[in-house]
Structure 1
Amino acid sequence: MQRITSFFRFCRGRAKLKRRAAAMGFMNHHHQTAISSGQEGIKTVGVDNHNLCDFSSNSDLCICIVTWNMNGKVSYEDLAELVGSSRKFDLLVVGLQEVPRDNILRLLQAALEETHIVLGKAIMQSLQLYVFGPKNSDLLVKVELQVDKHSVGGFGGLIRRKKGAVAIRINYKGFRMVFITCHLSAHASKVEERNCQCKHISHSLFSKNWNPYAKPAHITVWLGDLNYRIQGIDTHPARNLIQKDLHGTLTSNDQLLQEAERGHIFNGYCEGTLTFKPTYKYNVGSSKYDTSYKVRVPAWTDRILFKIEDAKKINATLRFYESMDDIYSSDHKPVKAHLCLKLNKLLSA
């Protein structure tokens, strides 16, 4: 615990030095190196919704992925809306942050009772991850699954806002997959702290039982409230652009994409185009952005990213990447993705 605390003190100290250097007109050396070395950053991929997935012939595995910061409130109706009524997917992955003390799994199981059952769960107080598979499938007896969690400190209040990540590693239908849901530090100024948390989580998860001879995951998926913000623009100009459906112009101000482009985080990951409006912060019970005295700049805090270990062996098609604007009980809108995977015939098990 002392080592982890020292690590994040280092992160905070480094962030202060970086801001001071920026104010004096100096560029961070790591930033220069990352740009000159040609880092991949996050690859933005389009959504292929013209050729609708028929759930059988086009793909070997279909995954529905949902992330939602619940803000400590829930209803069965919201969760039923979250998982949807059309279940054209093999696996359903649900990552939740700021989960209330209610039995969320019981509510999810009730909503999915006719089609899917829980394969695995990873829980760290208000941070929770669930993977569901098809009911009555012969494949379920062959599922290999491990879970892990990693705290980065920082929680409080009645809803226990735990920060960190929980993860599930699963082998299903010949695909080795890792799903990670996280809740990182808040506030626009904490960019360097979030970067440090991402790196530390990546290095720490499943490290206790690390096998140097184990094959790497075919695909890794990060989902959650990453808390990266929009910067370099004030709230009212940003809201005017969103109101005019010009929010796509704000992606150049998105901290997550900026930091990835600089080579600091998520190198080689993919994300769908941000065609939906920023998912935070809304007035609870409405689709109006924050009208409190803080009048926060809207931001895409809630994201789903994925990385294919070898694109020559696995073809990944993103069929859907959207926010769920009809859910009003939180100050965040959920985000949902539909990802289809197809194995190359030359890929060995």
Structure 2
Amino acid sequence: MGNHLRYIVKNFLSYWRRCKPRLRDAMDNQEPTTAHEGIRTLKSNNSCDFSNESDLCICLVTWNMNGQVSYEDLVELVGSKRNFELLVVGLQEAPRTNISRMLQAVMAPTHILLGKAVMQSVQLYVFGPKNSKLLAREVKVDKHSVGGCGGLIRRKKGAVAICINFKGFRLVFISCHLSAHEHNVEQRNSQCQHISHSLFSKDCNPYAPPAQVTVWLGDLNYRLRGIDTHPARKLIHNDLQKELISKDQLLQEAERGEIFNGYCEGSLRFKPTYKYNVGSSDYDTSYKVRVPAWTDRILFKVDDADKIHATLHSYESVDNIESSDHKPVKAHLCLRVLPRLETLTSA
């Protein structure tokens, strides 16, 4: 028995000496764990020379309408200074009113509807300049519901999306409405992940090039963590809302690597966009006195950064619209095709 045991040990040691170098090499050649980038915060450059500096300028709007709309609000939302080619409007809790018809009437002097995606109260519209239909190709729409009982009162949770090739740029726009309440952080994270993996997956062509730019806009419903309503409101009243940014759940979860890895967002210089008393710019005075939060956000990611440069020219809330308990949020994003490396080196 002793001789048999010594035989086993001898063979095991011989095997270990042969395998150890290969095991060490395999460990040395392992790729390092990918570091999570989180959300990159950008300062916005308010100047935009539409004709010279960019190949495509996009106005992005998100608004939780709280079931209310007026033509005048949509005029205010879009604005009269239209130094953009594409207008992308993402809506949540949209009323039963024909928003598409109203938006088309507002945009009629300058733009036409290129695509829309609707899932009850979650809606998305893309407008382009008149006579630009030939510039828009491969327009596809999709939607993904995240369940819940919201649909019973026509306030659906989930996302709708439009994929479009415009002027050679492959773009995906997503309008979403995620679960509410401060404690539902993990649920919102899960919904973001499911939406990302589900949209356009059933129509995925493995030979088709991926989107170059992806934009999420919507009521993501991430709240402030670790502060009560009155201290938060005091900071906002004193124009010190930047002190609240470190408590923002969305940025915290992205830093942990749970969501929106590699996305960009403008600086949160505007006041939290939720929750207001309807018909005013005063924060919630109901018995719940909710903690203000930046629930409404616009984020973007450039997956072809060696070919496309993105500049964020503005990121702001539209405070003078008071028909909802949310303030709309707007961004102005411009894209420019970078010169090819071989062109630069040969010049």
Contact 2:265 2:298 survives alignment (8 Å) = yes
Q: 1:239 to 1:56 in 2, by over 3 A?
A: same
Deviation per CA, 1:165-212: give whole Å up to 9, x if none.
000000001100000010000000000000000000000000001111
Contact 2:136 2:164 survives alignment (8 Å) = no
Q: How does 1:294-309 map to 2 (within 5 A)?
A: 294-309=288-303
Q: How does 1:228-239 map to 2 (within 5 A)?
A: 228-239=222-233
Contact 1:126 1:159 survives alignment (8 Å) = no
Matched, 1:190 2:184: yes
Task: Look up the match of 1:57.
Answer: 52
Matched, 1:71 2:77: no
Contact 1:185 1:193 survives alignment (8 Å) = yes
**2:136, 2:326 → 1: CA distance?**
37
Q: How does 1:270-309 map to 2 (within 5 A)?
A: 270-309=264-303
One of 138, 143, 157 as aligned partner of 2:137:
143
Please tell me the residue identity of whatever aligns with 1:121.
Answer: K
One of 118, 122, 127 as aligned partner of 2:117:
122
**1:190, 1:289 → 2: CA distance?**
22
**2:151, 2:192 → 1: CA distance?**
24
Identity of aligned residues (%): 74
Task: Look up the match of 1:43.
Answer: 40
Q: How does 1:1-349 map to 2 (within 5 A)?
A: 38-49=35-46, 52-137=47-132, 140=134, 142-156=136-150, 160-346=154-340
Deviation per CA, 1:58-90: give whole Å up to 9, x if none.
000000000000000010000111111111100
Moved over 4 A (4+): none
Q: 1:206 to 1:153 in 2, by over 3 A?
A: same
**1:347, 1:132 → 2: CA distance?**
33
**2:341, 2:209 → 1: CA distance?**
13
Larger radius of gyration: 2
Q: 1:164 to 1:347 in 2, by over 3 A?
A: farther
Structure 1 stretches lacking a partner, 5+ long: 1-35
Q: 1:142 to 1:122 in 2, by over 3 A?
A: closer
> What displacement does 1:156 show?
3.7
Secondary structure of 1:143's match? strand
Please tell me the residue identity of whatever aligns with 1:256.
Answer: L
Task: Look up the match of 1:6.
Answer: none
Q: 1:97 to 1:249 in 2, by over 3 A?
A: same
> What displacement does 1:144 show?
2.1
Between Structure 1 and Structure 2, how many residues are aligned? 310
**2:200, 2:151 → 1: CA distance?**
29
Contact 2:64 2:91 survives alignment (8 Å) = yes
Instruction: Provide TM-score, normalisation by structure 1.
Output: 0.86
Secondary structure of 2:195's match? helix
Deviation per CA, 1:126-178: give whole Å up to 9, x if none.
000000000123x5355220000000012448851100000000000110000
**2:193, 2:151 → 1: CA distance?**
27
Secondary structure of 1:178's match? strand
Please tell me the residue identity of whatever aligns with 1:277.
Answer: K
Please tell me the residue identity of whatever aligns with 2:128.
Answer: G
Secondary structure of 2:310's match? strand
**2:183, 2:197 → 1: CA distance?**
24
Contact 2:114 2:136 survives alignment (8 Å) = no
Structure 2 stretches lacking a partner, 5+ long: 1-32, 343-347
Instruction: Provide TM-score, normalisation by structure 2.
Output: 0.87
